[in-house]
Amino acid sequence: MNEQNGNESTKEINPAYPPRKSGSVGDVDGKVIVITGATGMVGRELTPLLITSGATVVAIGRNTDRLNKLGNATKQKLSSLTAAHPSFNGKPTITATEFGDTYAASRVADQLHPMLLDLANQNEAIGKFEEIINKFGKIDAVIHLVGGWESGGVIEFEPDKLMDSLKNQVLPVANLTTAIIDHLVSSSGKFIAIGSNASHEPSGDNTLYASVKAATDAWVSGLATAFKGSSASATTILINAVLTESLATKHPERDFTGWTPDHILARKIVEVLGMEYTNGVHLAI
């Protein structure tokens, strides 16, 4: 994913970034869903969407501060869920704002479970997923969002960048697939990763990014092959680049044709969770 970002400088938003839709989506009520790379741009949209839809979310990240910020941001998004005449847990009617804040805090406390984990460590990854199984009894889905844009290609190639990308993007998915394969087979679970169209059509100046995405895709495809004979599935959603609200706001005049808004990608991920016969499939959006 092209994970460029920007700071808000104007209230005008590029028309390529449509308003968010409200309400739940998909059939994930009661399901245990693990998000890796949960503190990134798509994870920040996906986490509250899953919680609103009734899922228990294990949010995995490498940084405690960013995991805490994810929890706070999720509360803020959920606090907008109010009612005209709200009543919470048998308490008297309160204001919509108070209800929203209370509702959000309760849902996040019950359904969001942050987990500190560096997926570059295979033994740690295996141990943490065992902890998830021991706590919740199952894993219904793993959504892999680890990854990001890294410039570089055959022109002025920098080897250190490739080594960093292999460690921070390819090694994590390799360790992750090893850690979760048996658990997803047992639960007939789903694995979803975000891929890039660039991995199939690299250019001279994005070869590094394309090669890393291609390597990641190979691991997901290998997982899909290993799932054959079971009801588990591994699916890749293909995009060009992710568009954030801040980037769209910063550049209202820019042409973002082909980019996928972060909140639309989040909803598509939840929709894919409800699809059948997706093992080994590459879904382009």
One pLDDT digit (tens) per residue for the chain, 285 residues = 444 444 444 457 778 899 888 767 778 999 999 999 999 999 999 999 999 889 999 999 999 999 999 999 998 888 765 443 344 454 545 566 666 677 778 888 889 999 999 999 999 999 999 999 999 999 999 999 998 777 777 877 788 888 998 899 999 999 999 999 999 999 999 999 999 888 888 777 788 888 989 999 999 999 999 999 999 999 999 999 999 999 999 998 899 999 999 999 999 999 999 999 999 999 998
Handedness of CA 272, 267, 150, 154 (dihedral sign): positive
pLDDT score, position 10: 46
Q: CA 38, CA 64: separation in Å to the nearest integer?
A: 12
Q: Who contacts 52 (Cβ-Cβ below 8 Å, separation ≥6)? A: 23, 24, 78, 81, 107
Give all domains of the chain, ordered by start, each with its CATH number: 32-60+124-284 (3.40.50.720)
pLDDT score, position 6: 43
In this structure, which amino acid lies at residue 117?
Answer: L
Instruction: Write out the two tokens for 182.
Output: 């048996």
Q: CA 10, CA 156: separation in Å to the nearest integer?
A: 36
pLDDT score, position 162: 86
Q: Count CB-CB contacts under 10 A for residue 161.
A: 15
Q: CA 243, CA 265: separation in Å to the nearest integer?
A: 10
